[in-house]
Amino acid sequence: MKRRIKRLKRLVLLMFCRPGRWSKAPLFGTEKICILGPRGKGPHDSHSAGPPRWLRQAIDKGACSYHNPRVLAPNFKHLTKFELLVPPQSAGLRLDKFLAQQFSNYSRTLLAALVKDGCVRVGQLKPNKVKPALKLEGGEAISLELPAIEELDLEPQEIPLHILFEDDAIVVVNKQAALACHPPRAGQGGTLANALLFHFEALSGKGSARPGIVHRLDADTTGVMVCAKDDSAHFKLARQFEQRSVTKEYLTIVRGVVKADRDVIDKPIERDPNHREMMRVGAGSGRNAVTEYEVLERFAGFTFLRCRPRTGRTHQIRVHLNCVGHPVVSDRLYSRRPFLTLSEIQGRTPDAGEPPLIARQALHAARLGFEHPVTGLRVQFEAPLAEDMERCLAALRGHNVEVPSPHAVPDGSELVEGEDE
């Protein structure tokens, strides 16, 4: 009987994890064996029907071995103790954001997990009061233990870059399509980080997985990005992104005719539990996200928009526009049609083997404004529209009748004060 129960438990557990992921699946419910788990065992270590969230996240982030959580990931060697003092200029920052700025080799997700599991102490606060969202006041003494990570062998690669501006502190580039900002895991290349290592000797966070990378754009989103050449510039730029003082402007082509000339989408965003690479509008449980947009041109079945995100959530513009019924053209994640062809614009049957006008999401970071980390002056940079989006707009303008604004005043007529437009 005991044998049958043991086999049944194992089968239930394997429903929640792929075969071969754990060598002894029944153990993970009763023993916390990852370095991210609470140390030691106790009454809270009860058996569960599925892997605990902290363990799933730890394995996904590479903190534990993929096949056996008893074994640390190859790039984790041992715990090292760090002590630091929160400077006055960091007052108001969340604890996890502050730690991510200080330890750029570690992801914010990993650092937040360490905070939750009691590996971080802040001043005289009790451990149960130390949370990732804790607001720092400045002057606190922080002690923590971090797993030592081998420096990733990130190779410089001769990838061409369109440099808009460069000085001793920053580099502003116009990122091309099909270029990720940094490798998703060790041993991979062909990213902006590899290109920056080839073109520039001085970069912030050199030796980490994200040298020079202050913020990110999706791999298939083109446009303006600012990169830092030293840690001081990186810190000051990152602080501006955290405080939302950076102005961002995007251009996009969406499906459908947007009725309102301008509007604001204020809907929380969360990760889709069924598709981990996607985000979705949350039902009150997501993170606050606000996007304002303005119509630039209307066509039959399409609209050219300018978007200004007030927050910086993953896939924010793409998710928000999709939720109001206007997905970004050629968005493979959120649109049902992964590309746009000339025949579709002309309303005819597509030709066999017809090449797409644009085969990636029609989204471009057109403008970026911030305070220069050295001079303190407000600067703004613009990137010309990518060639594939220009080609798409030219086709829309040449083969499609522009639709006037539903709020436009006809020639020769006047608006009467006090009446609806």
Looking at residue 74, its amino acid is: P
Q: What is the DSSP string of 219-247?
A: TT-EEEEEEESSHHHHHHHHHHHHHT--E
Handedness of CA 79, 81, 84, 86 (dihedral sign): positive
Q: Strands 222-228, 363-371: parallel, antiparallel or unpaired by DSSP?
A: parallel
Catalytic residue among 60, 117, 153, 218: 218
Of 314, 306, 307, 272, the C-alpha closest to 289 is 314
- DSSP string of 99-142? HHHH-TTS-HHHHHHHHHTT-EEETT--GGG--TTPBP-SS-EE
**Strand ranges (E), 3-65:** none
Does the annotation count 218 as an active-site position?
yes
CB contact set of 272 (below 8 Å; sequence gap of 6+)? 278, 279, 280
User: Is residue 183 within 8 Å of 209, Cβ to Cβ?
Assistant: yes
CA distance 333 to 337: 9
Please report, for residues 115, 130, 210, 218, 250, the alpha-carbon distance to residue 52 in angstroms, rounded to integers and kept in the order given: 17, 21, 29, 30, 39
Taking the C-alpha atoms of residue 277 and residue 274, their distance in angstroms, rounded to an integer, is 9
Amino acid at 180: A
What's the first-to-final CA gap in the chain, in angstroms?
Answer: 78
Please tell me the distance from the alpha carbon of residue 64 to that of residue 73, in angstroms, as a whole number: 5
Locate 151 and state its tokens. Answer: 């420096």
Active site residues: 218
